[in-house]
Structures are given as C-alpha cells and as structure tokens.
Structure 1
Amino acid sequence: MHSLNFPNYNFRFKNSENKIAVFDVLRKKFVLLTPEEWVRQHVVHFLLREKKLPKTLLNVEKQLKVHDLIKRYDVLAYNPDGSIHLVVECKAASVPITQETFDQIARYNLALKANYLMVTNGLEHYFCQLDYEAEKYHFLPDLPSWK
C-alpha cells in the first residue's frame, strides 16, 4: 500500500485466501485491505490518536438515506448528545480530490448536518467547518482536537 500523509500507525494484518485484511478497531474485525480501506484506517487512527476523539463516538461504513437513495459514509464522529460532529469522505490515494468529491460529502451532509467535514485521499486532506446560519462552510488548516 501507498505511504500516506498521516503519522505512522501500527496496524494488524492477516492473510486469508491470498488476500490481505487489516484489523478495524471500531468494527472489531478484520476487513479486506483495499486502497480506500487503507485511507479509512489511517483516518480512524488519526481521529483517535491525534484528535483524541473517543472510540465510542466513532462509526465507519454505515448506510444513510439521501433523497430516497441508500448511501454509505466512510467515517462519522458523533457529539455526546447524538448530533453529528464530523463526516469524513475517504478516497483511495490514486483518486484525486475533485469538486465531485465535495459534492458527494455535501449531499451526505444534507441528511447528517455535521459540524465539520473532512475529505481525504490519504495524501491531501481538506477540512471544513459548517456555518448553517450563514449557509457557508469555512476551510480550516486542520480539524480541532476533541474537547
């Protein structure tokens, strides 16, 4: 897998039927190691270790309904009151971040109403804070650490 623009993390791997799997600490199981999963696992560790988000408030790869369509978000962080703190859209390192990527996470956020958005391909990271009153989002140099 590609070296990514994150700190180095220790991952657990296993080889099953000539396929490599990585242990997901949130799902508590091994999952097939795809290029996008490699980015997602780095994001999870980044949020846990660097941003100090509690593991109990993080969730990965769950379904959500957007305009009668079933979609899947990559990573989501809750606030203690159950509202959404952060939505993360992960792409493989070989996939450039484009306007289409931002449009995708914006569509997801219509249903989720997060405080922050993160878009990453593991090499480039974009962070936004939402201002719902002004109907704007502000790009940030980094995500704030957890309270």
Structure 2
Amino acid sequence: MQKLNFSNYSFRFKNSENKTYIFDIIRKKFLLLTPEEWVRQHVLNYLIEDLKYPKSLINVEKLVNVNGLKRRYDIVVFNTDGSFFLLVECKAPEVQITQGTFDQIAQYNFVLKAENLMITNGLNHYFCQMDFENEKYVFLKELPEFSK
C-alpha cells in the first residue's frame, strides 16, 4: 500500500486466499485491506497514538439515517458525555476531495451534530470546527489533542 501523510504506525496483517487483511484496533477484527481501509486504519492510529483519544470513545462504520436513507459513517469520536466530538470521512488515496465530499460529511453531520469534522484521503487532510449558530465551519490547521 502507498505511503500516506501520517506518522509511521505498526499494523497487524494476515493473508488468506491471496488477499491481505489488516487488523482494526477498534472493531478488534481483521478486515480486507482496501485503499480506503488503509486510510481508515491510519486515521484510527493518528487519533489514538498522536492525539491520545481513548479507544473507548471511538466508533467505526455505523449506520446513520440521513434523509430517510441508510448511510454509514467512517469514524466518530464521542465526548465523555456521549455527544459527538468528531466525525471523520475517509476516502481512498486516489479519490480527490471535492465539494461533494464536504457535502457528504455535512449531510451526515446535519444528523449527528459533531463539533469537529475531518476529511482525508490519506494524502490531504482537512479539519473543520462547526459553528452551528452561523451555519458554517471554520477550517483548522489540526485537531486538538484529547482533553477530559
């Protein structure tokens, strides 16, 4: 898999029937290693190792109902009170991040109301803090480290 714009992390892999699988440290199981999963696993390690977010506050690939349609978010991080702190949208490295990507995460966040957003294809990362009062987002240079 291609080198991404993250720190170097240790991953567990296994091969089965000529396919490679990567261990998901949140879901505690091996998943088929696709380009998007490669990005998702880097983001999880970034959140846990670099930003010190507790694993217990992170959730991966759960269904969310958006305008009557079932959608699946990539990663969320909860606040200790159970509200949504961060919503992450992961794309494969070859996928360009476009206005459509921002529209997608905005639709999800209309339902979830996360305080912060992250969009990444592993090469380019965008961080936003929500301003719900003025119905806009403010771009950040990086996400804050975890604080209780």
**Smaller-chain TM-score bracket:** over 0.9
Partner of 1:57: 57
Report the alpha carbon displacement of residue 136 of structure 1 after superposing the two structures with TM. 1.7
Partner of 1:30: 30
TM-score for the superposition, normalised by structure 2: 0.98
Partner of 1:90: 90
Letter of the 1:131 counterpart: D
Q: Secondary structure at the match of 1:102?
A: helix
Equivalent-residue separation in structure 2 for 1:96 and 1:75 (angstroms): 19
Q: Secondary structure at the match of 1:146?
A: coil
Structure 1 stretches of 4+ with a deviation exceeding 6 A read none
Task: State how 1:123-138 maps to structure 2 within 5 Å.
Answer: 123-138=123-138
Partner of 1:106: 106
Partner of 2:68: 68
RMSD between aligned residues: 0.5
Task: State how 1:10-29 maps to structure 2 within 5 Å.
Answer: 10-29=10-29
TM-score for the superposition, normalised by structure 1: 0.99
Q: Secondary structure at the match of 1:142?
A: coil
**Matched length:** 147
Letter of the 1:124 counterpart: N
Report the alpha carbon displacement of residue 133 of structure 1 after superposing the two structures with TM. 1.3
Equivalent-residue separation in structure 2 for 1:74 and 1:136 (angstroms): 22
Listed as ranges, the gaps of 5+ residues in structure 2 are none
Equivalent-residue separation in structure 2 for 1:135 and 1:3 (angstroms): 36
Report the alpha carbon displacement of residue 134 of structure 1 after superposing the two structures with TM. 1.9
Listed as ranges, the gaps of 5+ residues in structure 1 are none
Partner of 2:115: 115
Equivalent-residue separation in structure 2 for 1:41 and 1:3 (angstroms): 13
Report the alpha carbon displacement of residue 58 of structure 1 after superposing the two structures with TM. 0.2
Equivalent-residue separation in structure 1 for 2:50 and 2:11 (angstroms): 16
Q: Any idea what the Cα deviations from partners look like across 1:28-84, whole Å, max 9, x if unmatched? A: 000000000000000000000111100000011111000100000001000011100
Report the alpha carbon displacement of residue 135 of structure 1 after superposing the two structures with TM. 1.6
Equivalent-residue separation in structure 1 for 2:98 and 2:135 (angstroms): 21
